[in-house]
Amino acid sequence: MDDMAAGIDTVGDALCFLMYQISLPDYDYIQNKLYEEFQEGPNLSLDQLTYLDAVIKEGLRCFPPIPMSQPRYVPQGGRIISGHFIPGGTIVSCQAYSVHRLNDVAFPNSDKFLPERWLEPNSISEMNRHFFAFGAGSRGCTGKQ
């Protein structure tokens, strides 16, 4: 039951925020590009539509559907996080919204909705490394794939 409820709410929330964002007048160009991509490849499967994928990823980056932090224990022996030593057993946490919106190194102009950022081959690996709209590791969403 948890999987079904979590899957419905998160997908619905993500799509709601995304539809609102691209319905704004400043983002008409996104609707036009999506329309063109659908027209150019009517027989392509959805995972072959690269601009659609970029728009969805940018929507998840800007509006992650899991609005809470994701706590973890620091492993035994401690770790250095952002230049600070954190002792083992300490609970640390972050949330996707903060990582996605405050990291201008991984996401330049992070306060802007820019699907084109996901089409840049030189920065895609760094962005994917910091992208965790549905969590990461063993506690990540089982349906994210």
Task: Give per-residue pLDDT as tens, 63-101.
Answer: 888 767 778 899 999 999 889 999 999 998 888 888 888
**Nearest-angstrom CA–CA distance, 21 and 48:** 23
Query: How many structural domains compose the chain?
Result: 1
Question: Is residue 11 assigned to a domain?
Answer: yes
Quick one: pLDDT at residue 25? 95
**Nearest-angstrom CA–CA distance, 29 and 66:** 28
Q: Which of 22-54 are b and which e, b meaning 16 or more Cβ less than 10 Å from the residue's Cβ?
A: beeeeeeebeebbeebeeeeeeeeeeebebbbb
Sign of CA dihedral 118, 143, 63, 49: positive
**Nearest-angstrom CA–CA distance, 74 and 81:** 10
Give, for all 145 residues of the chain, the pLDDT tens digit: 556 656 677 788 889 999 999 999 999 999 999 999 999 988 999 889 999 999 999 999 998 887 677 788 999 999 998 899 999 999 988 888 888 888 888 899 999 999 999 999 998 888 988 887 766 655 555 555 5
One-letter amino acid for residue 123 of the chain: S
| Domain, as residue range, for 52 | 2-139
**Nearest-angstrom CA–CA distance, 94 and 102:** 12
Question: Is residue 62 assigned to a domain?
Answer: yes
Question: Is residue 59 assigned to a domain?
Answer: yes
Question: Is residue 124 assigned to a domain?
Answer: yes
**Which two structure tokens, joined as six digits, stand for 79?**
């770790």
Quick one: pLDDT at residue 90? 95
**Which two structure tokens, joined as six digits, stand for 3?**
């999987």
Q: Which of 70-80 are b and which e, b meaning 16 or more Cβ less than 10 Å from the residue's Cβ?
A: beeebeeeeee
Question: Is residue 144 assigned to a domain?
Answer: no
Question: Is residue 70 assigned to a domain?
Answer: yes
Quick one: pLDDT at residue 6? 60
Which of 97, 94, 93, 71 lies closest to 17 in space, CA to CA?
Answer: 97
Quick one: pLDDT at residue 129? 85
Question: Is residue 82 assigned to a domain?
Answer: yes
